[in-house]
Amino acid sequence: MGRHFLDTSALVKLYRTEPQTQAVQACIKPNDALVLSGLAFLEFQSAFFGLVRQKHISTVDAQQRIALLQQDFGNFEIIPLS
């Protein structure tokens, strides 16, 4: 069982296929602990709405990916801001 800190770029790759998505997924095993910054959710939303502004994805797609992360948030260890 490993423990991995995911920056926002890696987190986005778990919810959207991008270059290096397979590399990120290959590093994570089923029982690994995944750690996020307390800012990760805000940064995640910003990343997806940036993709909307760039016309890479639709608003609906961004909202669906954000909702998926919200559902999964309990599976992550969050490092609170202080």
In the chain, what are the domain boundaries? 3-79
How far is it, in rounded angstroms, from Cα 21 to Cα 2? 19
Q: Is the pLDDT of residue 69 over 90?
A: yes
Q: What pTM was estimated for this model as a whole? A: 0.90
> What per-residue string of b and e applies to 14-50 under the rule 16 or more CB within 10 Å gives b?
bbbeeeeeeebeeeeeeeeebebbeebbebbbebbee
H or E element that contains 47? helix 40-53
pLDDT tens-digit profile of 7-55? 999 999 999 999 999 999 999 998 999 999 999 999 999 999 999 999 9
Which CATH number is 3-79 given?
A: 3.40.50.1010
* Contact yes or no for 63/51 (Cβ under 8 A): no
